[in-house]
């Protein structure tokens, strides 16, 4: 393994951590409806749990409501129950074939609680990035110990990995501030 391989692998893993944070932040609702909100909802389908988008069509009715239409008639009740039981605090109502999912307005206290959740998610992502930096530096030191690279190369690579870490942490902070602004907007 070369120094370039270590840097490339570390950057790839850090990018995956950022992508995971982006997905987690998208799940935190802001009072506005978006179809990705129900992506993690699991519905029982013939004895196995599957994502909601495999058994129903999720659409945006308006800014404050989603529409969910099950592809099979018998699945509507199960889909409605799965949405009600998920951890998003939603209360769907059935209107014939269509299940309407209104987004309740967020109170000031609920907004503050959601900001705490978002900050915890961001801190978890920062910890993951720092752990990746630690692992990469340990790999570089091992390479130096095995005389696979010179001290100068190892030192330059450590600096590059630190810059990579700083860039990803700054992006996490940017995503966090964007989500906080989104949550506090009325």
* pLDDT tens across the length of the chain (186 residues): 788 899 999 999 999 999 999 988 887 766 667 777 777 788 888 888 888 888 888 888 887 888 998 888 888 888 888 888 876 777 888 887 888 888 877 778 878 878 888 898 899 999 999 999 999 999 999 999 999 889 999 999 999 999 999 999 999 999 999 998 888 876
| Residue after which a domain boundary falls, among 72, 102, 132 | 102
CB 121 within 8 A of CB 24: yes
Question: Are 132 and 72 in a shared domain?
Answer: no
- CA end-to-end distance (rounded Å), the chain: 52
The pTM score is 0.68
Domain limits for position 72: 35-102
The CATH number given to whatever domain includes residue 127 is 1.10.132.20
- pLDDT at res. 66: 87
111 and 80: one domain? no
CATH number at residue 62: 3.30.1360.40
Task: Show which of 80, 102, 124 is a domain's final residue.
Answer: 102
């Amino acid at each position: 393994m070369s120094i370039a391989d270590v840097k490339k692998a570390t950057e790839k893993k850090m990018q995956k951590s950022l992508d995971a944070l982006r997905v987690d932040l998208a799940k935190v609702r802001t009072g506005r409806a978006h179809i990705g909100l129900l992506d993690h909802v699991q519905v029982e389908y013939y004895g196995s749990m599957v994502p909601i988008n495999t058994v129903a069509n999720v659409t945006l009715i308006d800014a404050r409501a989603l529409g969910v239409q099950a592809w099979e008639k018998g699945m509507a009740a199960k889909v409605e129950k799965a949405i009600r039981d998920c951890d998003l605090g939603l209360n769907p109502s059935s209107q014939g074939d269509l299940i309407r999912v209104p987004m309740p307005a967020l109170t000031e206290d609920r907004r503050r609680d959601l900001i705490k959740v978002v900050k915890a998610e961001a801190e978890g992502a920062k910890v993951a990035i720092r752990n990746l930096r630690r692992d990469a530096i340990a790999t570089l030191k091992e390479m130096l110990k095995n005389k696979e690279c010179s001290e100068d190369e190892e030192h330059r690579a450590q600096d590059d990995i630190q810059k990579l870490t700083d860039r990803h942490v700054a992006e996490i902070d940017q995503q966090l501030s964007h989500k906080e602004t989104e949550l506090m907007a009325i």
